[in-house]
Amino acid sequence: MYVLEGLDPVRKRPGMYIGSTGVEGLHHLIWEVVDNSIDEAMAGYAKNIAVTLLPENRVMVIDDGRGIPVDTHKQTKKSALETVFTTLHAGAKFGGDSYKVSGGLHGVGASVVNALSIWLKAEVCRDGFQYVQEHSRGKPKYSVKKTGKCDGSGTAVTFEPDAEIFQIIKFEWDTILTHLRQQAYLTKGVRMTIIDKRSPIQIKSKKGIEEQPSQSYSFYFDGGIVSYIKFLNQGLIAKNENIFYTQKENVVGDKKIYVECAFQYTDEINAKELSFANNIYTAEGGMHLTGFRTALTRCLNDYAKKNEYFKKDDENLTGEDVREGLTSIISVKLLSSQLQFEGQTKAKLGNPEARSAVEAVIGETVQEFLEKNPDDARAVLEKAFLAQKARKAAKAAKDTVLRKGALDGFALPGKLADCQSKNPEESELFIVEGDSAGGSAKSARDRKFQAILPLRGKILNVEKARLDKMLASKEIRALIIALGAAIGNDYEHEKLRYHRVIIATDADVDGSHIRTLLLTMFYRHFPKLIKSGFMYIAEPPLYRIQRAKDVRYAYSDDEKEKVMKEMLKARDEQKKVRDAKSGKAKTEEVVEEEVSEDASDAEKVKGVTIQRYKGLGEMNPGQLWETTMDPARRVLRQITVQDAAQADKIFDILMGDEVLPRKKFIQTHAKAVKNLDI
């Protein structure tokens, strides 16, 4: 039984179906089409899925599955292919038993993409024939056409998002690549390919000039999520050499739930926990992650007691203790009609039966793993007991730093120049480098809503430090108290005193290092602040260029050259006017030639002064306000974490203990470095 309706609700309320009309919603269109291809792969009918980025903001998703059916649908009396793209089907996935498990929550993926596209073309190869139909904003342009014969089978969907719906239409290569890599790990044995044809490269060949994609990449993993664990832990020191892995079906009531899990411990302090439901990444976890955590904690405590790891009166290990250094992936699959997510964005799984299924499977298989691998069990437990000891020390440190009075604003750090406003939504905190920049910033600011916190030197690298050592740092303590929301498990987002936290460091090597240290701390210990969009980096200009009363600021070398050309052209235009009045007019061509010649040697041009800023302390308060602090003119870069796993790896490389990965990173990217001040 299907409940079918038109696509008008989708165009009226797109956020209900794709989460937003911003960048995430735009990419969600691709995910919806890819989900349908993954359905075919999970059912055993597709081995290859490819996403191609095309010119004019178009995307093509193609698979070698069975091809969407084209015969007449009993209820709509239209082709099944047209029905799939023009109606919302609530309940089971269209086609009954064709799709057992699907990433699409409502089973409406293809039709939603069609409704939100200015143009869409569906091509199907099935039963030896090729079929095609085009649509615009959810309406078919013509009936399904049989266009000829074809070999094999599959579906190709090409679409162009509607500019009336989406704020910005720009598909991001890294975002799509990361998603497809993740799906390839979760759907082992299936090849996922991404191809970029937006700006093709022209190459000479025997046939003449040929166009090739500017970039392409394929992912194929026979090892599935075990390969994913190895990828996440690349360059890290493992505690248990044998990676735990299990896959098992569990029945809860009348519901069958497929559970797959892999984990490994490393010598890291932070945990990496990834959870999925029907291949959808659940960023906020949910019942399946809760079930995994509960079972893992219980199994390790039971094994420790059985093998006399505990001393008399020792406390049990907590979930926090056993998760230190854990890299885990928990994936559940159930019928799409049974999926329950909290919120439209599918970020948190709400099925209670998923928790029961995961607890049962993990409880049984982890116990077996520990018994069969006593050396691994010992290494994991030793790390957990060390984490327990550190947790107790950190609690004592937190109690002294995060006193109630301090967090309520009665004991703010002395170096903080706070703002007058008590409304977090309009308040912003500038974190600046040193007292010199702090002095200029305090003089330049609008004290109504701008607070200044100068930090002395480089803060502690928290990637290598436990919480108790971190809280012993005066600079970090001052920052935590200034923010007012506590830290770690005690963090209270609603108590955050500023909704814009702006890192303003110098444009040199030390400034970049300090910025990286601060971002590491915020990423590790204030992730919700970043996810809420409250984290920014100030981008002050690199150059101040002045000619007479004309003062301009340039944020890059290219922009400096552009400003210089504009200034010199204005100078020559003025000279041309003066010469014309005195009978000495020059031709336009000569003037343009002089402008180009002068701009290439800008620093030596008479009447033009260029100042290269290496630090905010070099600016007077007026310049600092004008370039960096004035909301109407400043340039701020918002910090987002599109891919937590990839960001996690970068922080490990840049700030971790392993030297070799960092050396390789530096060697790879050294040539791309600009404005390096030594």
Cite the active site residues: 433, 506, 508, 510
Which tokens sit at 603?
């620093």
Q: Compute the 3-state secondary structure of the chain and give helix, strand, coil in percent, each to the nearest 5.
A: 40, 25, 35
Q: Which amino acid is at 120?
A: L
Distance of alpha carbon 138 from alpha carbon 112, whole angstroms: 8
Q: How far apart are the first and last CA of the chain?
A: 71
Cβ–Cβ under 8 Å, residues 264 and 648: no
Run of H or E residues at 96: none
Measured CA to CA, the distance from residue 86 to residue 4 in angstroms comes to 9
Calpha distance 610→406 (Å, rounded): 46
Residue 497: phi and psi, rounded to 5, are -85, -15
- The sheet with strand 550-554 has its strands ordered as 550-554, 543-547, 608-612
**E strands present in 82-214:** 88-90, 117-126, 129-136, 139-140, 145-149, 154-161, 191-196, 201-205, 208-212
What are 46's two structure tokens?
A: 């597709």
> What is the 3-class SS of 382-411, one letter each residue?
HHHHHHHHHHHHHHHHHHHHCCHHHHCCCC
Beta strands 129-136 and 117-126 are: antiparallel
Is 71 buried (19+), middle (13-18) or exposed (0-12) by CB count in 10 A?
Answer: exposed
Query: DSSP label at 676?
Result: -
d(CA 185, CA 71): 34
Q: Reduced to 3 states, what is the DSSP secondary structure of residue 122?
A: strand
Cα–Cα dist 155/123, whole Å: 6
Give dist(CA 55, CA 203) in Å, integer. Answer: 18
Distances (CA, A) of 231 to 142, 256, 327, 637, 649: 47, 30, 11, 29, 9
**Phi, psi for residue 638 in degrees, rounded to 5:** -75, 135
For residues 243 and 260, give the distance between their C-alpha atoms in angstroms, rounded to a whole number: 13
Which of 529, 531, 553 has the alpha carbon at shortest distance from 543?
A: 553
Residues 121, 141: Cα–Cα separation, whole Å: 10
